[in-house]
A and B are shown apart, each in its own frame.
Chain A
Amino acid sequence: MGILNVLIVVCLIYVAILFGVAFMAERAAAQGRGGWLRSPFVYTLSLSIYCTAWTFYGAVGYAARSGLEYLTIYLGPTLVMIGWWWVLRKLVRIGRSQRITSVADLVSSRYGKSNTLAVVATLVAVIGTTPYIALQLQSVTLSFSSFAGAEAIEQPFGDRNSMALWVAVGLAFFTILFGTRNLDANERHHGVVMAIALEAVVKLVALMAVGVFVVWGLAGGVEEILAKIDASAIGSFSPHSGRWAALTFLSAAAFLTLPRMFQVMVVENEDERHLRTASWAFPTYLMMMSLFVVPIAAVGLELMPAGANPDLFVLTLPLSQGQEGLAMFSFLGGFSSATSMVIVATIALSTMVSNHVVMPIWLWSKGGGGAMISGDVRGVVLLARRISMAVVLALGYLYYRFSGGGAALAVIGLISFAGLAQVLPAMIGGIFWRGATRAGALSGLAVGFLVWLFCLLLPSFGDGNILSAATFRDGLWGIGWLRPHALFGIAGLDPLVHAVMWSMSLNTILFVVVSLMTFPSPLERLQGAQFVNVFQHSMATQGWSGGVAQAEDLMVMAQRILGPVEAQEFFLDEVRRQGLAGYLPEPTSEFLQRLERELSGSVGSATAHAMVAQIMGRATVSVDDLLKVADETAQMMEYQNQLEAKSDELTRTARQLRAVNEKLTQLSVQKDAFLSQISHELRTPMTSIRAFSEILRDTDELGEEALRKYAGIIHNEAIRLTRLLDDLLDLSVLENGQVSLNLREGLLSDVIDQAVAATGAGGGTLRIRRTQSGEAVLLNTDLDRLAQVFINLIANAQKYCDAARPELTITAKERDGLLVVDFVDNGTGIPREAQSLIFEKFARVSDHKAGGAGLGLAICREIMARLGGGITYLPGQGGAAFRVTLRPSLRAAD
């Protein structure tokens, strides 16, 4: 028992609190409570994952080594936030309107939904972020060991490495638990965001507490501390203007392109107006974070022994003064900074890896996307995400192991920033310049990334580790102008400035030149216009060819990705919007746009596009669409919007009229056919009765057996006639509303039991599967009439289900205050063109092979209407599927 155990217990309690907060935030969000979750201040605090352990510990070390240069790390983001109106607002608007899931998705979507570009951007993000995650693991283990002493660590954990491993495993667990609760990246991770906001407060208060202690406790006041700063080495550093500019630029760029920043800033953004608050609140936060950095550094340099690591002054200074409680708090602050960064970065990276690498490969291995995929895709996406999270953390751990944790914290951070900044030209160019093309973005990104790799990342492993000492001295392959720190023979620059200058300028030049030389594809043009002019027209303009009835296929696919409940609601919503009845909307190009965007929230834009294309055929971009894009003047745009609104309205009315007309025509044909049908249905049994009764009357020498047989036929046909008349009467009574209902209370499960028993389906060839859980609902309705409906549906499945091993699944659940009972069999179902007719009288899908008169479903529909519910055909479920809806009276208590 010692200080280490106390530390571990404190960490565990802290993590337990985080779990609790995340859990409660998720619960509150799920129950629709928690408006406070959507506060602009929670948003601002979540942005503070910019301040990682690097800023928490490293800033002091940085100040101790290079004076005020550390301020550049805060200056860049501050500039970006203050200028939010130009860049951030646009990014957030685009992110929301296009349902962007990550930086890679943004770039991919802008340049014609290119998956190649997404893969490259993902690669850059993973390689650029891995050192950063390693850095956080290192800071946690370092702070542990400086607190408890290196030997104490080695005792329970074996060594420091396995301690880092445990930290990584714990973080993976937390991230997977709260980062993959829901699939749609646009549905926000309330739990995670809330936990991060809490961590933001902890780290700020911890750092300020140490600062206050140092200034008033150790130095003795503001004047004294200013004097100490002047006296220390910090006062005499002179700023290096090249480095200063490069670092400010880098941190500004990184603020926009870091995957974790994009995640909290754009993806998790709840409301565009939050930016307005964050534009002053976040710089204030940064200012407070940096306030005490120099005092702590100055006092640390003065009081701590010469060899002490300045990166850990925040922790070791209070410790050396015997302030264990304050040190503990400071330790928690560092712990918070590290964990929050790792959690969000892991979520962001796993989204990219699963959407742009794993899912395309999986879809491809299944032989195409679209309706051909089987099973629930959501499970696969979630699994892909979870595995990606574990892999990302494993990579971070491995980097930590192999880099040996040697380099100063700030250096790894800057290397990471420079790598991720390579996405900047493609990103900024993409949202401000319509002429930017995919080829331009791809070549700029690739070259910038390679230069960064060669000049900054690989040399960071040290001379002779990955790049040989000879390469440093003589250049790659002995070519003099390929030296990593003196590209093209320009030597004498600071290595970081050198690498940033070359990688960013080559990246930008290639991006611009190649964009000018190449020609964008039509889809790129449309996406480009939508991104650049996102404030002028948020309406999508790209169109799909077709419009044929592939709605059912789309439904099948959407159910697999969004989940059945969400997909059905999405489709119903569109049906209402189009003013139609039923479950399937017309696949208008507007609807397909919405669907594709909805899907891209789950699987990324490139994959969603490919899947919809699989069903609808290639998307065509018409001349009209391109003209729309070419129309530059706002006036034209305005006029056109008005016209569009009008023509939309007309289209909707016309669609409704068409549907009504179709229905009327069908009804009149049916009315005609009805008389004819009734005649046929009555005359057919009568023919047998008359013919056989005449035979019995006129034939003398009939045998005993024939006598009995013919009398039997007469008897059966008479019964058939009676049943038909009963059905007709039943229907006419129901239709005239003269029926008196016998209302009673009873359990739904009993009614289904009764129906199953009455059809004898329990022992027959039809297997019935039921979910008992949803059936414990108390009903107050005409139970016999309801049973009649159920009997009809079960009997239909017995008669018409054509599967080799027929099966009927009955599920009951409550949705929007309604009780929904679905009857789904595993046969071929009812053909689309017949689906709208089956509830009409005498409408039989097949020729009279199963011998019903064709009144059963018509009666069911009337009964359900009388009971205040409904019955509909549910398309896209595999087999024939009927949905009965009812109002439950009360939920059963048990």
Chain B
Amino acid sequence: MGKQVLVIEDEPNIIEAISFLLMRDGWTVATHSNGRDAVDIVRARRPDLLILDVMLPGKSGYEILSELRADAALAELPVLMLTARGQAKDREMAERIGASRFMTKPFSNAEMLDALHQLVPGA
């Protein structure tokens, strides 16, 4: 049984691509596609790693991340942020709030897997 990853993303095709990749890499993958109750889902599932999109319906990825970091139990959770807006200020924003890693869409599959392994050693 591999480590658990939670993907919060609203584009169905991107969810499908990431799920395919990670399952083949041995992860257990759960997905969720809106921002409103994302924080509750994270608390309930307690994943080993979170992949979080920025533009989500209901609540933005930045807001979700801020709420997670405010919660002591989740402050150390590794979070990989994905965004389709590749401007420098988006990256700064993500780092300030406490993203563990930041990637711009479109990404290379190999890079994504490397990043996950760095974030969760031994996975």
- Residues of chain A whose beta carbon lies under 8 Å from any beta carbon of chain B: 675-676, 679-680, 683-684, 686-692, 694-695, 698-699, 713, 717, 847-849
- Whether A686 lies near B106 (C-beta < 8 A) is yes
Distance in Å: Cβ of B22 to nearest Cβ of chain A:
12
Q: Note all chain B residues with C-beta closer than 8 A to A684.
A: 11, 14, 84, 105
In the complex, the answer to whether B86 meets A679 with C-beta atoms within 8 Å is yes
- Which residues of B approach A to under 8 Å, CB–CB? 10-11, 13-14, 16-18, 20-21, 24, 55, 57-58, 84-87, 104-110
- State which of B85, B86, B107 has its C-beta within 8 Å of the C-beta of A690: B107
A690 to B107, CA, bound (A): 7
* Complex Cα gap A684–B18 (Å): 14
The one of A683, A847, A849 in contact with B106, judged by C-beta atoms closer than 8 angstroms, is: A683
- Across-interface contacts of B105 in A (CB, < 8 A): 683-684, 686-687
Residues of A within 8 A of B87 (CB): 675-676, 679
16 A–B contacts from the bound complex (CB under 8 Å): A679-B86, A679-B87, A683-B104, A683-B106, A684-B11, A687-B17, A687-B105, A688-B14, A689-B106, A690-B108, A694-B108, A695-B109, A698-B109, A847-B57, A848-B10, A849-B57
Residue of B nearest to A677 (CB): B85
What residues of chain B lie closer than 8 Å to A680, measured between beta carbons? 55, 84-85
Also in contact, A694 and B85, with CB within 8 A (given A687-B14, A849-B57): no
- Cβ-defined contact, B106 with A690, below 8 A: yes
Q: How far is the CA of A676 from the CA of B20 in the complex (A)?
A: 29
**A residues less than 8 Å from B24 (CB atoms):** 699
- Chain B contacts for A690, CB-based, 8 A: 106-108
Cβ contacts under 8 Å, B18 to chain A: 691
CB-CB < 8 A to A849: which residues of B?
Answer: 57
- In the complex, which residue of chain A has the Cβ closest to the Cβ of B20? A695
Chain B, Cβ-Cβ closest to A691: B17
Q: Top 3 nearest A-B pairs by Cβ distance? A: A691-B17, A847-B57, A683-B84
Q: Which residues of chain B are within 8 angstroms of A683 by Cβ–Cβ distance?
A: 84-86, 104-106
- Residues in B whose Cβ lies below 8 Å from that of A713: 13, 16
B55-A691 in contact (CB<8A): no
Given the complex, which residues of A lie within 8 Å of B17, measured CB to CB?
Answer: 687-688, 691-692, 695
On chain A, the residues within 8 Å of B85 by CB distance are 676, 679-680, 683
For residue B104, which residues in chain A have a CB less than 8 angstroms away from its CB? 683
A849 to B57, CA, bound (A): 9
Contact A687 B16 (CB under 8 A): no
Are the CB atoms of B57 and A687 closer together than 8 Å? no
In the bound complex, what is the Cα–Cα distance between A690 and B109 (angstroms)? Answer: 8
The CB with the most chain B CB atoms within 10 A, among A679, A686, A690, A691, is that of A691
Q: Which residue of B lies closest to A673 (CB)?
A: B85
Q: How many angstroms from the CA of A698 to the CA of B17 in the assembled complex?
A: 13
Are the CB atoms of B107 and A687 closer together than 8 Å? Answer: yes
Q: Check B84 against A691 for contact (C-beta < 8 Å).
A: no
Closest residue of chain B to A688, judged by CB? B13
Cβ of A557 to closest chain B Cβ, rounded Å: 36
A691 touches B106 (CB 8 A): yes
Chain A residues within an 8 Å CB radius of B107 = 687, 690-691
Q: Chain B: which residue is nearest A683 at the CB level?
A: B84
Query: Which residues of chain B have C-beta atoms less than 8 A from A692's C-beta?
Result: 13, 17
Residues of A within 8 A of B58 (CB): 847
Given pairs A676-B85, A690-B106, A691-B109, 10 additional interface contacts (CB within 8 A): A680-B85, A683-B105, A683-B106, A686-B105, A688-B11, A688-B17, A691-B21, A694-B108, A694-B110, A717-B13
A698 CA to B10 CA, complexed, in Å:
25
Q: Which residues of A contact B106 (CB under 8 A)?
A: 683, 686-687, 689-691
Q: How far does the alpha carbon of A118 sit from the alpha carbon of B18 in the complex, in Å? A: 76
How many Å lie between the Cα of A251 and that of B10 in the bound state? 84
A720 to chain B, nearest CB (A): 10
B-chain residues with CB within 8 Å of residue A679 when the two chains form the complex: 84-87
Query: How far is A31 from B87 in the complex, measured between Cα atoms in Å?
Result: 64
In angstroms, how far is the closest chain B Cβ from the Cβ of A587? 34
Nearest A-chain residue to B11, judged by Cβ: A684
Set of chain B residues within 8 Å of A688, measured between Cβ atoms: 11, 13-14, 17
Closest to B34 in A: A847
**Identity of the chain B residue whose Cβ is nearest the Cβ of A686 in the assembled complex:** B106
User: Bound state CA distance, A695 and B18, in angstroms?
Assistant: 10
B residues less than 8 Å from A717 (CB atoms): 13
* CB atoms of B108 and A687 under 8 A apart: no
Inter-chain CA distance A686–B13, complex, in Å, is 11
Closest residue of chain B to A694, judged by CB? B109
In the bound complex, CA of A675 to CA of B14 (Å): 22
- Measured between C-beta atoms, what is the minimum distance from B74 to chain A in Å? 25
* A513 to B13 alpha-carbon distance, docked (Å): 86
CA A723 to CA B110, docked complex, whole Å: 30
Given the complex of chains A and B, what is the CA–CA distance between A345 and B115 in angstroms?
92
Cβ–Cβ < 8 Å partners of A847 in chain B: 57-58
Name which residue of chain B comes closest to A692, CB basis.
B17
Looking at the assembled complex, report how far the CB atom of B55 sits from the nearest CB atom of chain A, in whole angstroms. Answer: 6
User: How distant is A699 from chain B, measured CB to nearest CB, in Å?
Assistant: 7
Nearest chain B CB to A269's CB is how many angstroms away?
A: 62
Q: Which residue of A lies closest to B86 (CB)?
A: A679
State in angstroms the CA–CA spacing of A688 and B21 once bound together: 12
Task: Give every chain B residue within 8 A of A686 (Cβ-Cβ).
Answer: 105-106
* B17 (CB) vs chain A CBs: closest residue: A691
Q: Are B57 and A691 in contact (CB under 8 A)?
A: no
| Chain B, Cβ-Cβ closest to A847 | B57
Q: Are A848 and B57 in contact (CB under 8 A)?
A: yes
CB-CB under 8 A from B11, the residues of chain A are 684, 687-688
Contacts of A675 in B (CB 8 A): 87
Q: How far is the CB of A295 from chain B (nearest CB, A)?
A: 95
* B25 → chain A closest CB, angstroms: 12
Listed residue (A676, A699, A849) with the most chain B CB atoms within 10 angstroms of its CB: A676
User: With a CB–CB cut-off of 8 A, which chain B residues contact A691?
Assistant: 14, 17-18, 21, 106-107, 109
Residues of B within 8 A of A694 (CB): 108-110
Residue of B nearest to A676 (CB): B85
